[in-house]
Amino acid sequence: MTPPARTLAVVHETAYRYDAPTELAHHLAYLRPLDDAWQALEAHALHIEPEPPHVQTAPDAFGNWRSTFALYAPHDALLVRASSRVAVRARHADLQPEAGVPWEEAALRLRYRAGAAYAPEAEFAFPSPYVPLHAELRDYARPSFAPGRPLPLAALDLMHRIHADFTYDPASTHVATPVLEAYTQRYGVCQDYAHVMLGCLRALGLAARYVSGYLVSQPPPGQPRLVGADASHAWVSVHCPGLPGNGGWLDLDPTNDLVPGLGHVILAYGRDYGDVTPMRGVIRGGGGHALAVRVTVAPWDELPAGLEVPAPATAGG
């Protein structure tokens, strides 16, 4: 039986203002949501000011939608607005954590063996620029991974512990904060929670990937949903051999201590934040700049006034 879907609207707006005209700019964006069996992208539009002569959107090495564009005329501001309508189904509605394989067996499958078939998930078992291997993270993970414990059960326990031991604090870290620093101080944002959990899992020889996306938030009781009041989100996906559905990948959100369901929208998968940064670029000129990011995620039947989202008939971009 196909699980019911929840239709969500996502608007992600990035605005740059430069102190001096920017003469040349090349930008890369991961702003088009994933489209798969559990998440249907019903409509998408990418609006850019000033308008570039060409925008190319194509899959990257991990199957994510990556958009690239360049601006060759001087400009002192840049606006990039991605608007999407997404129907989300729960990937893990029938999850039975105790039924998974022992975690040691999953790790063993990822070890190199001459003549063995290549396992695509092995791509996510190695250290990456933002998530190097640290013995401290392996030791922290150990209490959750008792000998013979089913991998989904152990990963869930690790998620619970990270959520309990860490404090969410937007002012405590920045994009380049090393994972070991975030682990030591026990403060951070969703990106840090995800990187710490990735480091723990990979230090045990397991495959785990970074998930970039969005999460529906609820306004205070009696208050209207505001435009631009949300933010990007990040969580983790660990590969559990034999887990039904979703290719064996189990999504876990350590920031909120839950298994993502109908409130999470996936943008892209990567080894860490650096693979799937929502928006980045290289410019010539411009001097200093000011950056403003506004994100709105809302159920389709609760759209805030003034929020423009393309209807299904206009899918593309």
User: What value does the mean pLDDT take over residues 20-31?
Assistant: 95
| pLDDT tens per residue, range 241-268 | 989 888 899 999 999 999 999 999 999 9
* Contact (Cβ atoms closer than 8 angstroms) between residue 189 and residue 232: no
| pLDDT tens per residue, range 207-226 | 999 999 999 987 777 777 65
| pLDDT tens per residue, range 116-159 | 788 889 999 999 999 999 999 999 999 999 999 999 999 999 99
DSSP 34-78: P-SSSEEEEEEEEEEESPPS-EEEEE-TTS-EEEEEEE-S-EEEE
| pLDDT tens per residue, range 28-58 | 999 999 999 999 999 999 999 999 999 999 9
How far apart are alpha carbons 134 and 151 in whole angstroms?
20
Element (H, E) at 209: strand 208-215
Q: What is the pLDDT of residue 181?
A: 95
For the cut 60, the answer to whether the pLDDT of residue 314 exceeds it is no
Q: What is the pLDDT of residue 3?
A: 66
Q: What is the pLDDT of residue 98?
A: 92
Q: CATH 3.10.620.30 occupies which residues in the chain?
A: 97-275
Q: What is the pLDDT of residue 228?
A: 62
Domain range 97-275, CATH architecture: Roll (3.10)
Q: CATH 2.60.40.2250 occupies which residues in the chain?
A: 5-89+277-303
Domain range 5-89+277-303, CATH architecture: Sandwich (2.60)
Q: What is the pLDDT of residue 317?
A: 46
